[in-house]
Structure 1
Amino acid sequence: MTVGVTVVGAALFDEGRLLAARRSAPPELAGRWELPGGKVEKGETPEQALVRELREELGVDARTVGRVPGEWPLREPYVLRVWTALLEPGSPAPAPLQDHDELRWLSPEEIWDVDWLDQDVPAVRRALEHRPPVR
């Protein structure tokens, strides 16, 4: 059983590409890349939190596909859990609205071209093993 506060991350895929978000804050994380997401609020499921966070942070409509096995410790008391997700048909293109200053869709060959946050590296590796099929 997970102890601590769950932070949800989205391995958001589109046409086989993974979305990476560059942090703009706090200063110690600025300039590094992560899977977008955020904290689960009281009364919501992790999947609901992920959909909400993607709407707030990126302005997109998305749906979760499946949980990526594993969890990764963050600063106490937080733990990162990741879900694969897809944009809903007709969703606006992602835009960096909060906490990020740049977004990049990374092809499989480009995944490691960005400086991922340390805790996101194993999560990204695992998410790639569970990517949804390209439609």
Structure 2
Amino acid sequence: MTDRVVVGGALFDRGRLLAARRSAPPELAGGWELPGGKVEPGESPEQALVRELREELGIESELLERIPGTWPLKPGYVLQVWTARLLAGEPQPLEDHDELRWLAPHEIDSVDWLELDRPAVREAARRLAAGAHD
């Protein structure tokens, strides 16, 4: 059986990265992550991420590129991450989160990222910093 894909969005806006603090499930509550969720049957990972960002944050986004790599989560699940940019709306913590923060490149380490998100966050931060002056 293949692993179920969980997608995460490194959402960029005005040189900042969006961090979302988990409110559920209890073992993840209080940890910070890149927002996203599970790919549903019949969806591509890209379609799932656009849908998840709409459901979790109430925004419209455009995916830019996949960050290379796949990170194991709990058994049977793997994380894939895309960079994305905000198209419309102001992100709100609608589902599974109780706080959102926009972080400039020098602020990336100011929140306690979930351990499993750290490699993707580091790469997203590197890309953000490289493009922050565009």
Residue in 2 that maps onto 1:94: 91
Offset of residue 129 of structure 1: 3.0
The 3-state SS of whatever aligns with 2:51 is helix
User: Please, what TM-score do these two structures have when normalized by structure 2?
Assistant: 0.93
Gaps of 5+ in 1: none
d(CA) in 2 for partners of 1:48, 1:4: 18
The 3-state SS of whatever aligns with 1:130 is helix
One of 92, 106, 116 as aligned partner of 1:119: 116
Runs of 4+ in 1 over 2 A off after TM superposition: 128-135
Q: CA RMSD of the aligned region, Å?
A: 1.5
Offset of residue 133 of structure 1: 3.3
Residue in 1 that maps onto 2:131: 133
Q: Which has the higher strand share?
A: 2
d(CA) in 1 for partners of 2:33, 2:41: 24
Q: Which has the higher helix share?
A: 2
d(CA) in 1 for partners of 2:15, 2:73: 27
Identity %: 66
For the 8 Å contact 1:59–1:97, the answer to whether it is kept is yes
Gaps of 5+ in 2: none
Q: How many residues align?
A: 132
